[in-house]
Each structure stands twice: as structure tokens, then as C-alpha cells.
């Protein structure tokens, strides 16, 4: 009898890897029954990671979104899983232990079955509480290995992490190939080693398609014993996202595995509805470049999901950099040249910084250092002139132990700045704060919410939650959306008799021809 492979739809990550926002709760409720009707998913990634924060940013209640979104899957017997960043919880910087503990309690009560926990540094000290709190809350504890490709990230290195988290009591292991740069044969060997040592441990593979390895990797890990594969679906699959379920299902079926059938009528309906969400408002915040794959990512190792923010950073700096170059009487650089310079700088500084796996938030820290280095170098200034606080915390060990050794020039810079390295348990550097936020809620006469979920949101994302409660977040989002709409200047056609004129300035034309209509979709670059 052929071995069974099951699929998980990473609907949350599909959006995070494509653009800034995620669908509203009413949209998620609409598509959930159709995803269920597809009949091929045993699991769906519903929340975690940026999901809660993103809801707050456009003025929606993330707790309502999680409850309403997970409910239909719970009722259908489809497991739901979330992404959790270990010490960083579901934000970009460390979280006190009491808030981390409440997080698992709240998410289990809201309907999330599985916690996929990772530490961006693969420091098992940051994962111990994740396993403890997940199991304490009644969740399945899945620990993710952050995969990268370097001289020190060997099979033995990863097996040492597996040994420790299994000792903690985790139930499953995820091979988290966040940048898609894991080499297929290496990943297959790693899965085989885990299965040989821990045959009862469930293994789930998650790999982005940016550099192009992930389809081959899925076949290798399946042959080696993986149980679940994370997949996406059109119109968001491929590019910097994940492989499409149709391709992976067909490949595995041909290889002799037992895989579920796909209800293609439901697939096409879900595909169309997802596109309607893009056309509604999400497309305004999606970088078209995220639909493309690039072999340049093989060497720099940056995850595809952050390409959008990186391009925005580069566009914002391009004018300033070229102004400085003109002042220096040096040739200006194009945006493409800046991208190459940034990729090269990441590749150069990554070993010097101790090979931190390039996953949230460490990918952002390394990218930010590289970006500032590029700017300073082009301005005729030395490297390392600007390093932000969060990046310093990574360098100094406050967020965990770096996998490799810091270069002498970095250590010299630490001493020059008068900083000290931190060698204790990272969690100890961040004392409990939950009661402080409880007092704030009492002072504001805010309800802590069902299962203290509102208290949790304030404690995890305090600034964004206050903006949500005040209504500022909604106003800011609406203004941002309106600004994006006005940037498009959609094409219109004005017809008079046998003559037609095409223009890109609809506002100017409509002032003279009130009946003129736009014939462009809200999605950048998509002409209907």
C-alpha cells in the first residue's frame, strides 16, 4: 500500500508573502466553506505571525477574525495551525513570559489546534516555553527548524535542535524552509534522520518557491518520510510564495504516493474569490515583483516574503543616494543596481554576523544593516555606521545565541561602543508585564474580553491596539487606501462618433466628460 501524504493550505502565509494586508473577517468567512469543499486539505494555516497585527492595522478586531475563521474548519474536522516566533511571540521583538503564556491559552480557546513555534536563531532556550505553554493550553506543539544554507548549518546541527525540543515534549517537527534555499538532497537526508531517530514524530515541510528549489524539495522530503506538505493555490501560488497544490498533488501521485483528490470546481471558485479579495483592496498593497521567482535569492538567502518591504525601502532611498552621488560627481545607480548591491552586501555581512538564519525578525535585522551599509558606502562612509537597537540586541546575544561566531571587526565595534555581551537565558532579560497592561485596561474601562483575549492583544501589540481602540487605525488605513487608489491613474477611453482617445489621467478627463469610465482593475498592472 502506498504511503499517504497530506496537505496543509497556508492561506495566511500566502497573503503575508504577497503584500501588506490579509483579507477581512467577512472575506475569510466567505472562502472557508469553499476551501473545505476542495476536499484535499487536512490542515489550514489560519493565524499567527503577522495576522493579528495586520488586522489591528486596518482597524479590525483580530480576536473576532481568529474565532470566525477557525470555526468552520474546526467543525469540518480540519486542523488549524498558527505561526509563533518563540521569544518574539507574534511580534518583531521579545515578549515577556507571562504574555507568551496567555497567548497560547487565548489561541487555543479561539479554535487554533497546532502551534508552529520557531526561533529565528534555532536557540532551543527560546523554544522551551513555547512547547511548555502550547501543551499546557491543550495545543499540539510543533517546533520548526529554520533552514538555511551555510558551512555551520549541517545535519548534525539541526539534529541537535531536534533532540532538545523532543526532550521538551514537542509533538511534531516542521522543516521551515522560509527562504526556499534548502537544498533538496540535504532536506531529504535531514527528514530521514529525524524519522529514523524519532519514528513517531510527525514531520511537516514548509518551503517558499522564490529561488526555485521547493518542488524538488517536496519530492525529496516526501520520499524521506514527511507526513504533511504546505501548499498554496492560485492566484497567490508560485513567485515568492509556495508551490500550488495542483502541481504537488500530480507530482506525488505520479511518484506513487497516496494523495487526496482535488475538487476542481471548488478550487476554481476559491481561486476566483481570492482574486476578488485582491481586486477589492488587497491588490493595492501587493508588489508585482512578488509574483516572480529569482535565482539571485540562492546566494543572498533572503526570504521571498520580505521582498516587498525591501523594494519599498530601496525605492525610498534611491533618490537620496543618487543625490549624494551627484554631489560627489559619481555615476548614479538604478533601482536594479541597488538590489544587486544589497544582495551582495547581505551575502558579505551574513557570515560576519554569525550566520543568523534569515527569517523574521533576523532577516529584517540583517537586511537593515546591509541597507544602511550600502547607503553609507555609496556616500563614501564606512560600514557599520548605522545599526538599530534590535539588530544590536541580536549581535549582543539578548535574543539568543548566534549559530556562528562574530567576526573580529564586529567584536571590536562592540567594545568601541562600550556594549556588553549577554550570556544569560534570553527570556530573563524581559520581565513580566501582563499586570501593567491589565491596570491600563481597568483605567480605560476596557473589557479584557472572552478568555482575556483583549488583554492579550493590548499586551502583545500595545501601540497598534490603542490605535485600533481609538479608531485612528481605521482612519489611517482608509487614508492609505485612498492614497494608493489615486496613484493608479487608470486608463479611460473617451469615444465621440468614430474617434476614440486614450488617456491615463481619469481625473482630468472626468472633469470634462463626467460619464467617462475607468477600464482598469484596482490591481497594479492588471488591465481588464
Domain spans of the chain, in order of start: 12-261, 297-427
Strand partners, 175: 145, 205
Residue 434: DSSP 8-state = H
| Beta-ladder partners of 145 | 175
* Predicted local distance difference test score (pLDDT) of residue 334: 87
Residues 6+ apart with CB under 8 A from 167: none
Query: Exposed e or buried b for every residue in 493-515, given b needs 16+ CB within 10 A?
Result: ebeeeeeeeeeeebeebeeeeee
pLDDT tens track for 88-115: 999 989 999 999 999 999 999 999 999 9
| Nearest CA-CA partner of 140 in 47, 95, 200, 202 | 202
Radius of gyration of the chain (CA): 24
How many angstroms separate the CA atoms of 379 and 323, rounded? 10
User: What pLDDT, on the 0 to 100 scale, is given for residue 519?
Assistant: 44
Residue 322 is predicted with a pLDDT of 86
Q: Which residues of the chain have pLDDT under 70?
A: 1, 304-309, 489-528
What are phi and psi for residue 198, nearest 5 degrees? -130, 75
Contact 144, 119 (CB under 8 A): no
Written as nine digits, the cell of 509 is 478627463
- Give the CA distances from residue 216 to residues 4, 8, 291, 359, 387, in Å, rounded to whole numbers and listed in that order: 18, 18, 19, 21, 38
How far apart, in whole angstroms, are the C-alpha atoms of residue 195 and residue 231?
A: 22
- What's the pLDDT tens digit per position in 115-148? 999 999 999 999 999 999 999 999 999 999 999 9
284, 293, 332, 439, 457 from 344: Cα distances, Å: 30, 18, 18, 48, 39
Q: In angstroms, what CA-CA distances link 228 with 78, 248, 278? A: 13, 12, 28
Write down the residue that cell numbers 515534549 correspond to: 169
| CA 456/CA 224 separation, integer angstroms | 40
- CA torsion sign, 182 to 184 to 186 to 187? positive
Class of domain 12-261: alpha beta
CA nearest to 41, candidates 248, 316, 184, 293: 248
Give the C-alpha separation, 516 to 245, whole Å: 42
Amino acid at each position: 500500500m502506498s504511503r499517504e501524504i497530506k496537505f496543509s493550505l497556508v492561506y495566511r502565509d500566502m497573503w503575508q508573502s504577497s503584500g501588506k494586508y490579509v483579507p477581512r473577517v467577512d472575506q475569510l468567512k466567505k472562502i472557508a466553506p469553499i476551501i473545505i469543499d476542495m476536499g484535499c486539505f487536512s490542515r489550514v494555516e489560519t493565524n499567527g505571525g503577522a495576522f493579528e497585527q495586520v488586522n489591528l492595522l486596518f482597524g479590525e478586531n483580530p480576536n473576532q477574525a481568529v474565532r470566525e475563521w477557525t470555526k468552520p474548519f474546526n467543525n469540518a474536522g480540519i486542523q488549524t495551525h498558527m505561526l509563533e516566533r518563540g521569544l518574539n511571540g507574534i511580534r518583531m521583538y521579545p515578549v515577556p513570559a507571562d504574555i507568551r503564556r496567555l497567548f497560547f491559552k487565548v489561541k487555543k480557546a479561539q479554535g487554533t489546534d497546532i502551534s508552529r513555534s520557531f526561533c529565528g536563531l534555532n536557540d532551543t532556550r527560546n523554544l522551551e516555553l513555547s512547547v511548555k505553554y502550547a501543551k499546557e493550553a491543550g495545543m499540539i506543539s510543533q517546533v520548526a527548524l529554520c533552514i538555511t544554507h551555510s558551512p555551520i548549518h549541517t545535519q548534525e546541527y539541526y539534529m541537535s535542535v531536534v533532540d532538545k525540543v523532543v526532550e521538551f515534549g514537542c509533538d511534531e517537527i516542521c522543516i521551515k524552509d522560509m527562504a526556499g534555499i534548502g537544498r533538496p538532497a540535504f532536506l531529504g537526508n535531514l527528514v530521514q534522520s529525524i524519522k529514523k531517530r524519532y519514528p513517531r514524530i510527525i514531520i511537516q515541510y514548509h518551503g517558499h518557491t522564490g529561488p526555485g528549489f521547493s518542488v524538488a524539495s517536496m519530492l525529496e522530503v516526501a520520499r524521506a518520510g514527511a507526513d504533511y506538505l504546505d501548499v498554496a493555490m492560485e492566484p497567490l501560488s508560485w513567485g515568492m510564495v509556495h508551490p500550488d497544490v495542483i502541481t504537488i498533488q500530480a507530482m506525488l501521485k505520479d511518484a506513487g504516493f497516496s494523495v487526496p483528490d482535488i475538487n476542481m470546481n471548488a478550487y476554481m471558485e476559491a481561486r476566483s474569490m481570492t482574486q476578488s479579495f485582491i481586486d477589492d483592496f488587497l491588490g493595492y498593497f501587493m508588489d508585482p515583483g512578488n509574483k516572480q521567482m529569482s535565482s539571485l535569492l540562492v546566494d543572498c538567502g533572503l526570504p521571498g516574503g520580505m521582498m516587498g518591504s525591501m523594494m519599498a525601502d530601496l525605492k525610498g532611498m534611491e533618490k537620496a543616494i543618487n543625490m549624494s552621488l551627484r554631489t560627489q560627481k559619481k555615476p548614479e545607480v538604478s533601482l536594479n543596481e541597488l538590489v544587486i548591491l544589497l544582495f551582495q552586501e547581505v551575502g558579505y555581512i551574513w557570515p560576519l554576523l554569525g550566520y543568523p538564519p534569515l527569517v523574521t525578525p533576523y532577516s529584517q535585522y540583517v537586511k537593515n544593516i546591509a541597507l544602511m551599509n550600502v547607503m553609507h558606502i555609496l556616500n563614501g562612509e564606512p560600514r557599520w555606521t548605522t545599526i538599530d537597537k534590535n539588530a544590536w540586541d541580536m549581535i549582543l546575544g539578548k535574543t539568543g545565541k548566534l549559530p556562528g561566531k562574530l567576526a573580529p571587526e564586529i567584536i571590536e565595534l562592540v567594545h568601541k561602543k562600550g556594549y556588553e555581551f549577554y550570556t544569560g537565558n534570553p527570556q530573563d532579560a524581559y520581565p513580566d508585564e501582563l499586570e501593567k497592561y491589565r491596570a491600563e485596561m481597568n483605567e480605560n474601562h476596557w473589557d479584557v474580553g472572552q478568555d482575556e483575549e483583549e488583554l492579550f492583544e493590548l499586551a502583545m501589540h500595545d501601540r497598534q491596539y490603542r490605535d485600533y481602540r481609538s479608531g485612528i487605525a481605521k482612519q489611517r488605513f482608509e487614508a492609505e487606501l485612498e492614497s494608493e487608489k489615486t496613484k493608479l491613474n487608470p486608463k479611460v477611453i473617451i469615444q465621440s462618433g468614430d474617434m476614440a482617445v486614450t488617456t491615463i489621467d481619469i481625473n482630468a478627463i472626468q472633469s470634462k466628460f463626467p460619464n467617462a469610465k475607468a477600464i482598469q482593475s484596482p490591481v497594479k498592472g492588471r488591465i481588464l
